[in-house]
Amino acid sequence: MSVARTVLLKVSDNQWLRANGTKLPFIRRAVSKFMPGESFDDMLGAATATAAEGIAAVFTRLGENVEDLTEADGVASHYLEVIDRIRASHIDCEPSIKLTQLGLDIDRELAYGHLRDLAVKCQETGNYLWIDMEQSPYVDITLTLTKRLREEFPRIGVCLQAYLFRTREDLEDITSRGIGVRLVKGAYNEPAAVAFPKKSDVDANYYALAQTMLGAGARAAGSRAVFGTHDLQLIQAIRTHAQVTGVQPAEFEIHMLYGIQKAAQLRLAQDGAQVRVLIAYGDYWFPWYMRRLAERPANVWFVAKSLFG
Ligand SMILES: Cc1cc2nc3c(=O)[nH]c(=O)nc-3n(C[C@H](O)[C@H](O)[C@H](O)COP(=O)(O)OP(=O)(O)OC[C@H]3O[C@@H](n4cnc5c(N)ncnc54)[C@H](O)[C@@H]3O)c2cc1C
């Protein structure tokens, strides 16, 4: 892992900066590259614009590690309300949530109750519920709650991270249950005991896992195959593998983050790929933004320019 990435990921965990970083004007200017704005309406405006370009959306209200019951209740109520607004707007836009935002650190059953309420709402409105994956200590509980939810609701998916050694086994279990998978490389600072330290190993594992997701077993179980990456070489390799093995472009999707590889998103959509863009909003964006910088330390240059801009 590069030094810059390690430093930025450590900064993302700093409690003082988490609370105060969003107040720094030059950082606020720089973050607009990745976020259309802090409100749900900003997100909906961006989703409407991308829909016109043939790209559907996933949305998330930023927040994590909520420590207060009232706040967790508020997050759940917010999602319940906006999922209704999504249906009213007729925009193809799917929610993606973090369990620690729904109160997982306070009380697992409380978080599960909120998660279940969101699954009910998604079912009523014809939507689909995505569950993000957080740091490695949360993987077991996230998958346990996802599998429990799947017993009642078919339209759910979870994020799995290719940097973790355990993901091969998790992927086989999750896909066999017909749960959707959004495969990503992984955004956190993980120890070498649980995750591949070398990027080339993460990339190779991603491609191997992608092949399983496109395999006959996962497809027969009805697992939705989503590749959450901006790695254009990897995307090309996956598309070629699909073509060679007779998997149709309609049978898998590519999801990217708002503001990253926009030209490639459009090219892929025009070329027949199913593309979605994940649009984030909310005022608690500091740790999330630091992870975006860590993914490409050259982005720090944008922050520096914003300092003077
Ligand atoms: C839809 C979606 C959902 C995600 N959900 C989760 C989640 O729930 N849990 C989790 O741990 N992680 C999540 N991630 C983040 C993911 O784990 C990676 O950190 C992130 O996608 C960067 O890895 P990459 O696959 O794009 O490949 P990389 O090899 O990191 O990047 C490939 C190329 O993409 C470009 N690029 C990548 N990131 C950036 C950036 N921030 N700014 C500018 N250019 C960039 C660069 O040109 C880079 O060379 C998600 C990512 C996406 C796209």
Q: What is the pLDDT of residues 24-40, one digit of tens each?
A: 777 777 777 889 998 99
pLDDT digits (tens, 9 = 90+) for 55-64: 999 999 998 8
Task: Please state whether 37 falls in left (phi above 0), alpha (psi between -120 and 50) or beta.
Answer: left
Count of CB atoms situated within 10 Å of the CB of 175: 25
Beta strands in 162-221 (DSSP E): 180-184
CA–CA distance, 219 with 5 (Å, rounded to integer): 35
List the residue whose alpha carbon is closest to atom 52 of ligand 1: 228
Band the pLDDT of 308: cuts 50, 70, 90. low
Burial 31-70 (b: 16+ CB within 10 A, else e): beebbbebebebbbebbeebbeeebbbbbbbbbbbbeeee
Q: How far is the CA of 286 from the centre of ligand 1 (A)?
A: 16
List the residue whose alpha carbon is closest to atom 17 of ligand 1: 186
List the residue whose alpha carbon is closest to atom 21 of ligand 1: 229
Task: Please state whether 126 falls in left (phi above 0), alpha (psi between -120 and 50) or beta.
Answer: left
Residue 11 has pLDDT above 80, yes or no: no
pLDDT digits (tens, 9 = 90+) for 73-94: 999 999 999 999 999 999 999 9
Residue 145 has pLDDT above 90, yes or no: yes
- Work out the angle at residue 171's Cα, subtended by the Cα atoms of residues 166 and 174, and round it to the nearest 5 degrees: 125
Q: DSSP letter for 164, please.
A: B
Ligand 1 environment, Cβ below 6 A:
132-133, 159, 161, 182, 184-188, 228-231, 255-257, 260, 278, 292, 295-296, 299
Per-residue pLDDT, 10: 81
Phi and psi of 23, rounded to 5°? -90, -10
Q: How far is the CA of 259 from the centre of ligand 1 (A)?
A: 11
Tokens of 263: 């030209």
CA–CA distance, 42 with 35 (Å, rounded to integer): 9
Q: How far is the CA of 185 from the centre of ligand 1 (A)?
A: 7
pLDDT digits (tens, 9 = 90+) for 220-229: 999 999 999 9
Per-residue pLDDT, 304: 64
Q: How far is the CA of 116 from the centre of ligand 1 (A)?
A: 28
Out of 295, 299, 303, mutate this one to test ligand 1's pocket (max ligand atoms within 8 Å of CB): namely 295
Count of CB atoms situated within 10 Å of the CB of 71: 14
Q: How far is the CA of 45 from the centre of ligand 1 (A)?
A: 23
Would you please indicate which residues are annotated as catalytic (active-site) residues?
A: 132, 182
List the residue whose alpha carbon is closest to atom 35 of ligand 1: 230
Per-residue pLDDT, 303: 64
Q: Which atom of ligand 1 is nearest to the CA of 206?
A: 25
Phi and psi of 194, rounded to 5°? -120, -20
Count of CB atoms situated within 10 Å of the CB of 224: 21
- Work out the angle at residue 65's Cα, subtended by the Cα atoms of residues 285 and 97, and round it to the nearest 5 degrees: 70
